[in-house]
Amino acid sequence: MNYKMNIYPVTYKDGDIEWCVEFPAVKGCIGVGDTAEEAVRVAFENLEIHLKALKHAGLPIPTDDTASYSGKFALRMSRTLHQQAIQAAEKEGVSLNALINEALSNRVAQV
State the pTM of this model: 0.57
pLDDT recorded at residue 64:
74
Domain 70-109 has CATH 1.10.3470: no
Structural contact between residues 65 and 58, judged by C-beta atoms closer than 8 angstroms: no
Q: pLDDT tens digits, residue range 18-76?
A: 999 999 899 999 999 999 899 999 999 999 999 999 999 999 999 876 656 667 788 88
DSSP letters for 62-98: PPPGGGG--S-------HHHHHHHHHHHHHHTS-HHH
Q: Which architecture characterizes domain 6-65 according to CATH?
A: 2-Layer Sandwich (3.30)
Sheet of 30-33, strand order: 6-11, 17-22, 30-33
